[in-house]
Every structure is written in structure tokens, then in C-alpha cells.
């Protein structure tokens, strides 16, 4: 009897504790290093062409930027990284000794083929230090395939991203992600390898925050 009576109260206590922990959690959103696609877009600012850099990777300058980031990156309990290769590369170079978990909800909004992912079997070979358990639990393709991801769908995913962060127990979390993710959550245009400190309370995905990018 007492166990049955106590269960709903214990659930409320656990929910309250998660709320308190979420308010104290430090989140660092980190944009990946410079990529082949970034270089192409800088050289072709008015083009809507897709140059075909599927799951684009860091340039040598991008790799160097990620290594330099390791010197100043905030200490965290866990690193969540978008499963796209440029973010996995950045996470591994910036946080060589931290636990890294591939986090599908943090993937970029699909705009070009550079935002289409690689099968997890190949990623595991390329990034053996990364935990891909969440990617394996997500039906393939875990990214939006074939066309531009609709704004409502992307905003819904960003809301799910925020909610997933709220359930985590770590106090300090780094999320290595993308321009579109940071822009949609905070209305901040982050540079390559920029660290944006924030909190769950500040993350408010909204369609108007990605309108210029759309």
C-alpha cells in the first residue's frame, strides 16, 4: 500500500530534481571547424548550386582550428556531437580525452548534400573513440534525406534536442554542432570553432530565427 501511495510522489520529486539540475546545467554550443563546404560557399556567395561535398570534412585550416580550440575549450563532463563528420572531427580534436557521444538530434538542417550523413558502420571505423549507441538506435537515415529539411520539421527537432538535453544528468555539457543549430536555438550566428555558453532556459527554437538562412 505504502509503495503504491509513494510512487507518484517519488515521480514528482524526481521531476523536480531534474528541473533544478537543468537550471544549473552549463551548456556550451560549439560550431565545427572550417570545412570544404565553407570554403566553397565563401568563394561562391551567391550560388545555390550543390557542389556535392557529401558529409563534408574539415580542411587543414579547420583541423588546426579544432586543435587550437582544445587549448581553450571549457572542461565538461560529456561531449555531445552531431554525427556528421565535420563535427565528429572537431569534437575528437578539441576534446581528445573526454567521453564523446554522437547525438543525432544535433545534426545540421539538411540544405546541401554536405548535410547528409555517413552510415554508422563507416563512422565507427573512422572515429573509434566515439560512442555511436544513439545513432544505432535511430532508424537510418538519421538525417533528412534528398531535399531541404522543412522549417517546421527542423524546429520540432530542435525542440526535441532541447528536451533531450534536459534529461541528461551531467552538469557541464559541450555540444559540437552547426551554424543552423545554434542560430535556431539562440538566434546567434556562430563562427567556426566558436564556443557559445548558454543554458536550457535560453534555448528557444523558433522559425523566425532561421528565416534568413532559409
pLDDT of amino acid 48 = 82
pLDDT of amino acid 213 = 46
Q: What are 83-112's pLDDT values in tens digits? A: 999 999 999 999 999 999 999 999 999 999
DSSP single-letter state for residue 130: E
pLDDT of amino acid 4 = 46
- Consecutive H or E run containing 79: strand 78-81
pTM, 2 dp: 0.87
Mean pLDDT within 154-174: 95
pLDDT class for 161, splitting at 50, 70, 90?
very high
pLDDT of amino acid 23 = 56
Whether pLDDT at 5 is above 50:
no
Whether pLDDT at 176 is above 80:
yes
Whether pLDDT at 207 is above 90:
no
Q: Is 100 helix (H, G, I), strand (E, B) or coil?
A: strand
Spell out the residues 6+ positions from residue 191 whose beta carbon is closer than 8 angstroms to its own. 31
pLDDT class for 8, splitting at 50, 70, 90?
low
Mean pLDDT within 129-138: 96
pLDDT of amino acid 162 = 95
Amino acid at each position: 500500500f505504502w509503495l503504491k501511495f509513494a510512487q507518484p510522489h517519488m515521480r514528482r520529486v524526481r521531476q523536480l530534481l531534474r528541473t533544478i539540475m537543468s537550471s544549473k546545467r552549463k551548456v556550451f554550443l560549439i560550431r565545427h571547424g572550417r570545412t570544404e563546404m565553407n570554403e566553397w560557399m565563401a568563394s561562391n556567395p551567391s550560388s545555390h548550386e550543390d557542389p556535392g561535398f557529401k558529409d563534408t570534412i574539415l580542411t587543414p585550416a579547420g583541423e588546426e582550428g579544432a586543435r587550437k580550440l582544445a587549448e581553450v575549450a571549457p572542461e565538461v563532463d560529456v561531449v555531445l556531437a552531431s554525427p556528421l563528420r565535420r563535427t565528429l572531427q572537431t569534437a575528437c580534436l578539441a576534446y581528445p580525452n573526454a567521453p564523446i557521444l554522437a547525438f543525432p538530434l544535433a545534426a545540421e538542417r539538411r540544405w546541401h548534400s554536405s548535410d547528409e550523413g555517413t552510415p554508422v558502420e563507416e563512422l565507427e571505423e573512422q572515429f573509434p573513440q566515439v560512442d555511436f549507441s544513439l545513432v544505432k538506435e535511430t532508424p537510418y537515415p538519421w538525417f533528412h534525406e534528398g531535399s531541404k529539411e522543412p522549417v517546421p520539421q527542423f524546429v520540432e527537432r530542435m525542440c526535441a534536442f532541447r528536451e533531450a538535453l534536459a534529461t541528461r544528468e551531467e552538469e557541464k555539457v559541450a555540444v559540437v554542432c552547426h551554424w543552423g543549430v545554434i542560430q535556431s536555438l539562440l538566434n546567434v550566428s556562430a563562427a567556426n570553432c566558436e564556443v557559445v555558453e548558454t543554458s536550457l532556459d535560453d534555448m528557444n527554437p523558433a522559425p523566425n530565427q532561421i528565416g534568413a538562412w532559409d
